[in-house]
Chains A and B, each alone.
Chain A
């Protein structure tokens, strides 16, 4: 019961602080506040917290965001929910560039592997030719 009362006190105090109590309840809370030092200390703490939070710097909308949204809307039509929403920063969305780079690296690796294999194959062929030539000479 005591815990429940404390919770109610907290809720009422927060609602009063936020201007959400009806006039009658607000007057009643003010009367209690005047006669209760503990409640008053808690209320002052709440006011201090609110001041501290409200004084935090506000985040400004990045300059390019609105243009980015307008571009995304231009490429879209309302009611086409089946089209997937493309989210991501420009360098993330333009994955074709990344795919191209990956393909180039992959191609280079494959080419060098083929070169090495061919070289090894040529060497193997030389050995084979030498062995065959040795046999021919032995005839």
Chain B
């Protein structure tokens, strides 16, 4: 869809073509970021209005990334306003989180703990709980990658960070998840 078409077509029709096909992914992302369905609904509705009002700015390149970017930014605005503690920058990892990343022996080889051996006997509820415990920046890249199956480039576009940062967050987020699931009782 070219920019000219966007300008010539009815804006509502363009919105329907651009945003609505990604509603399921939008809702899924909002649900993972806000942590519950009610807030996710509010975020998606707010994002839809923002998308509609800004439909002329749609660059006609990647409707999916464009839509999810708006949802993601709306979710962060919502979190900043309603749950500021949930928005933690990844450089601010707690000591416990850092330790979770560093089960390493003296030679730098990662030690496989007994907990890790039993790691993936975890049921869905435990995995869900562990994922919910991650900070929003780690959680979002994992959700965008694993649930929405987006590539690094699209994730970088949506989260507005370089691809290297996406790689780093994915790696650290996954290590944290492994540590969290390994530490479960």
Residues of chain A touching chain B, judged by Cβ–Cβ distance below 8 Å, are 2-3, 6-7, 10-11, 13-15, 18, 20, 38, 41-42, 45-46, 48-62, 65-66, 68-69, 72-73, 76, 78-81, 85, 87-89
Rank and list the top 5 A-B pairs by shortest CB-CB distance, nearest first.
A48-B120, A87-B46, A69-B48, A53-B146, A59-B31
| CB-defined contacts of B151 to chain A, threshold 8 Å | 18, 20
| CB-defined contacts of B184 to chain A, threshold 8 Å | none
State how many angstroms separate the Cβ of A75 from the closest Cβ of chain B.
Answer: 10
| CB-defined contacts of A13 to chain B, threshold 8 Å | 171
| CB-defined contacts of A46 to chain B, threshold 8 Å | 174, 178
Provide 14 A-B residue pairs closer than 8 Å at the C-beta atoms, listed in order of the A residue. A11-B168, A18-B170, A38-B110, A48-B119, A49-B178, A53-B127, A53-B147, A56-B131, A65-B41, A65-B44, A66-B23, A69-B48, A79-B53, A89-B42
B109 contact from A38, A50, A65, Cβ within 8 A? A38
State how many angstroms separate the Cβ of A40 from the closest Cβ of chain B.
Answer: 11
Known: A14-B171, A79-B53. A73 touches B15 (CB 8 A): yes
Known: A10-B171, A11-B168. A53 touches B142 (CB 8 A): yes
Q: Chain B: which residue is nearest A48 at the CB level?
A: B120
A69 and B44 form a contact (CB under 8 A):
yes
Task: Please report which residues of chain B, range 1-46, place their CB below 8 angstroms from some CB of chain A when the two chains form the complex.
Answer: 11-12, 15, 20, 23-24, 27-28, 31-32, 37-38, 40-46
- Give 1 or 0 for each of B100-139: 1 = CB within 8 Å of chain A CB: 0000100011101000100110101001100100000000
A3 and B108 form a contact (CB under 8 A):
yes
A-B contact count (CB 8 A): 126
Query: Does B50 have its Cβ within 8 Å of any Cβ on chain A?
Result: yes
A45 and B116 form a contact (CB under 8 A):
yes
| CB-defined contacts of A42 to chain B, threshold 8 Å | 110
Q: Give the size of the chain B interface in residues (CB under 8 angstroms).
A: 55
A54 and B178 form a contact (CB under 8 A):
no
Bound Cα distance A62, B122 (Å): 28
| CB-defined contacts of A15 to chain B, threshold 8 Å | 152, 167
| CB-defined contacts of A76 to chain B, threshold 8 Å | 49, 52-53
Q: Chain A: which residue is nearest B142 at the CB level?
A: A53
| CB-defined contacts of B181 to chain A, threshold 8 Å | 49, 52
A56 and B23 form a contact (CB under 8 A):
no
B37 contact from A18, A53, A57, A59, Cβ within 8 A? A59
| CB-defined contacts of A87 to chain B, threshold 8 Å | 42-43, 45-46
B56 and A78 form a contact (CB under 8 A):
yes
Bound Cα distance A45, B118 (Å): 11
Query: Does B177 have its Cβ within 8 Å of any Cβ on chain A?
Result: yes
State how many angstroms separate the Cβ of B14 from the closest Cβ of chain A.
Answer: 9
B127 contact from A2, A52, A80, Cβ within 8 A? A52
Query: Does B60 have its Cβ within 8 Å of any Cβ on chain A?
Result: no
A85 and B27 form a contact (CB under 8 A):
no
